[in-house]
Structure formats: structure tokens, C-alpha cells
Amino acid sequence: MKTLRLPPGPRTRSPLANLGAYRKGFLKFLLSMREQYGDVVHFKMGARHIVLVSDPHYIRDILVKDNKNFIKSRGLQMLSRRLLGKGLLTSEGELHRRQRRLIQPVFHKQRIDAYSETMVDCTARRSTGYVDGAPLDMGEEMMKTALAIAAKTLFGADVDEEADEISDAMTEAMNIFDLLADPFVAITEKLPLPRNKRIKQARDRIDATVYRMIEERRASAEDRGDLLSLLLKAQDEDDGTVMTDQQLRDEAITLFLAGHETTANAMTWTWYLLSQNPDAVEKLHEEVDRVLEGRLPALQDVPNLHYTRMVFAESMRLFPPAHSFGREALEQYKIGDYDVPKGATIIISPYLMHRHPRYWDNPEVFEPERWLPEKAEARPKTVYIPFGGGPRTCIGEPFAWLEGVLVVATLARHWQFSLAQGHPVDVQPLVTLRPKHGMKMVAHRRPSAHSGQNSTEAA
């Protein structure tokens, strides 16, 4: 039998040797692997073979050219069992292709454009509670804003009264990521441990909201043209059957989670980065004042909010919501001169790629101007992958871009945010990249650059 030529990496006889470093800091561990061993690294996590890939050409092959040799990683398989079910994010093969065809119309440009008014309205309404000079947790604010937008645009529902409970449940559910560092998780996830009980309670709380929305819509039989209406009337092309409540739940909860968790984190990090870069804030305010002239933004303004979009793009470069994702090799695979064993997990980390010094000048610096067209087009495409790539690129990418630009522009009209004095800032790489200690900030009302706006626009 031919001996595999594994990529370079730490060689140890102990199957648990890397778990300590992994638990102390997942992203720091990955970064240390790349710095020590290069852009293709092999290490073991328990009995599993892991290959970290940080080369854009190999990433393109894995996500695009050879994508059929891979399925979603062990982490998403666990997420499927514990929270999401067989939704778009976790399904494979023909089921995934069928569901993506079914859901794609919800994210067609014309339909997404129609969501713009709701995005602005939810943001403006939320900001009416801000007080000049008062503290607020921007992480919580962005989570609740994005939650309201997702519920209204995708399901035609208001969840304001449930926002705190749902947000807390989502936070608890994100702790599923910690289970990946448990080499005995196949056994421990079945035991009545406190962490398992908390995750189950979080799932039950989220389910309660989703099933309520499904039940109310079934009872009304109203077609609102949103995701829920589309899923309820969808029929299988082969036998004409409709989705069960379980299937509806799996798709609804997947898009509910993906539709607000990732964007909320991206916007939270955006306000943090702006608070640390006053020159960028000045340019953002200049553009918002000039384009909007004191009014709320609308869909037609988006093409003119160039700098706002660059700010959001640069925020997702430094703090990509999906910090890492994995693919499991169905068959033995070749990366350059190296062999990847069958069943191995390939890790691709947007967080690492977006800060790779080979592809980015001053990679740790917040520089929105690097997204000027002439600069952005010169980089390999898979150097910047906040939404993944290939046939499994995030279906909600256009939704996220529109929401990010409109939310930032809406708030920047009248507000500026500074980091609370002494507040520590660090990353917490759960399923998404959250701020570890929240994001305590202080709201400052800007002097209005335009007079005459009415009271509803003064938010």
C-alpha cells in the first residue's frame, strides 16, 4: 500500500496533543499552524486528519472545480443534528440542489430590492431609543435590528416582543462550536450534561417562534410573497407533495439564523472599526450627508453609497462572520504534491485568508480604499471569501450586502459611536465571529448637516 505524502505539520504521538491549543484559541491556533508550516498544513485533532489550506488557487479547486469530492464538515453535521436539521446550509447532494432551486426565487434581485424599505424602517425605529451620550451594547443592538429585519422580510412577522429571548437562545445555540473540541462528543452529546440541556432549551425556544409563524401562516392561507409563503405552496416536481412542518422548520430556521446572525456580527464589527478610525468616519459622514441630504436612504441611493459599501467590505475582511468552514473529503485528494486522506477535514479560514500578508498590504489595517475597483480586481478571487465560494456560495449574499449598506447609512445620518472607555475587544469564534465581551459603545448624536427633516426621519 502506497504511503501517503501528508502536508507538513506538527507530528505527535498523542492524539490529544493539539486539543489544548485549539481550546485556548481556535483562530490563533490556525494562524500559528500557517506561520510555522505554510499554506497547506496537516495536523491531527484526536483521531481526525485536518488539513488547513490558505492558498487561493487550491481553495478555488476545492470549492469550485472539485467540489463534488467534498461534503460539509463534521461541525455542520453536528449543527444539523443539534439545531438546523436538514436545511439548505447542512443538506447534501440532490436534496441540497432541490432546496436551493426552491429557495432561490426569494433572493432574486427584484425581490431583495423590495426588502430595502423594511431594512431602513426597522433600523430607524430601533434607533429612536438611542440617547445622546448614553451607553449601549452595539452587539445586542445590531442583533435585534437584524432579527427584526429577517423576521419581517423572510416571514412577514414581528418578533419585537420576543427579541430578547430569541437573541439569548441564539447566543446559547452558538456554543455548539465548543463541542467540536471534544474528542468524545459522539458519546457526550447524548448525555444529560448541563451544556446539552442548555443547547436543547435554546433550540426549543427558537423552534417555538418558527413553528408559531408556520402555524399562523397555514391558518391564514395568506400569500405575502415572502419565503414562508413560497415554501408553503412549493410542491415536489416528482410527486406533487408539499413540505411537512419539519421540512418547513428546517429551512425556515436555517435562513432565520443565517439571515440575521452573520449580518449582525458584520455590522457590530463595522461600528467598532469606525470608532477606531476617525478619518474613515469623516469620509462616511461626508458621503451620507451628500447623497441623502438628511432623508432616510432608499434603494435608489445604494449605487451612490460607494464608500459606505467599501467600509462594510473592509469590515468583513478583518472580521468575516463565517470565520472558518470545513469540507470533508469523500475520496483521497491531491493538493499540489501532497495527499489528503479520505475522510479528512479540510479547513478554509476566511479570517486567515483576509489577513494573509502575501495578498494584502498592511493586512491588519482598516483601509476601505483597498476596495476601489482597480485595487479589488487585481487580487485573486478566492483571497476574499466572506460568503464562501462555488455552488455552495451563501444564497443570501445580495441580501447581506444591501442590508449592511442601508443599516450603516441609516444610522450614520444622525449617529456616531465611540468604544466605551476600558472596554476589552477580542474575537469569539463560535459558529460565527462574535465579539467575546460584547461591544459596549457610547452613542453620540451628530449635529444635523441638513435642516427641515420631519420627526419620523430624525431617528
Q: Which three cell numbers stand for residue 315?
A: 469590515
Q: DSSP for 11-37?
A: --S-TTTTHHHHHH-HHHHHHHHHHHH
| Distance from C-alpha of 172 to C-alpha of 194, rounded to nearest angstrom | 12
Per-residue pLDDT of the chain (459 residues; tens, 9 = 90+): 578 999 999 977 665 666 666 667 889 999 999 999 999 999 988 778 999 999 999 999 999 999 999 987 666 566 656 666 776 666 767 777 777 777 777 677 787 888 899 999 999 999 999 999 999 999 999 999 998 998 888 887 777 777 677 777 777 766 665 655 555 566 666 777 787 788 788 888 888 888 888 888 888 877 777 778 877 876 555 566 667 778 788 888 777 777 788 999 999 999 999 999 999 999 999 999 999 999 999 999 999 999 999 999 999 999 999 999 989 999 999 999 999 999 999 999 999 999 999 999 999 999 999 999 998 888 988 999 999 998 888 888 999 999 999 999 999 999 999 999 999 999 998 888 999 999 999 999 998 656 444 434 545
DSSP assignment letter at 10: -
First-to-last alpha carbon distance for the chain, in angstroms, is: 70
Name the phi and psi angles at 3, rounded to 5.
-75, 135
Beta strand residue intervals within 301-432, DSSP E: 325-329, 333-335, 338-340, 345-348, 415-419, 427-429
Hey, what's the torsion of the CAs at 219, 224, 227, 232, to 10 degrees? 40
| Distance from C-alpha of 432 to C-alpha of 323, rounded to nearest angstrom | 6
| Distance from C-alpha of 232 to C-alpha of 242, rounded to nearest angstrom | 7
Residue 438's contacts (CB-CB under 8 Å, 6 or more residues apart) are 137, 139, 140
Q: Are 205 and 211 in contact (CB under 8 A)?
A: no
Dmax of the chain from CA atoms?
Answer: 80
Hey, what's the torsion of the CAs at 445, 449, 453, 455, to 10 degrees? 10
- The amino acid at 256: F
| Distance from C-alpha of 213 to C-alpha of 253, rounded to nearest angstrom | 11
- The amino acid at 23: R
| Distance from C-alpha of 434 to C-alpha of 322, rounded to nearest angstrom | 10
Q: Are 388 and 325 in contact (CB under 8 A)?
A: yes
Residue 47's contacts (CB-CB under 8 Å, 6 or more residues apart) are 15, 183
| Distance from C-alpha of 314 to C-alpha of 317, rounded to nearest angstrom | 5
Helix, coil or strand: residue 442: strand
Nearest to 143 by CA among 128, 163, 162, 129: 163
Q: What is the pLDDT of residue 170?
A: 73
Instruction: Give the HSE-up count for residue 368: Cα atoms under 13 Å, Cβ half-sphere.
Output: 21
Determine the length of the chain. 459
Spell out the domain ranges in the chain.
Answer: 19-457
Fold of 19-457: Cytochrome p450 (1.10.630)
Helix, coil or strand: residue 277: coil
Buried residues in 196-210 as b, exposed as e (16+ CB within 10 A) = eeebeebbebbbebb
| Distance from C-alpha of 411 to C-alpha of 129, rounded to nearest angstrom | 12
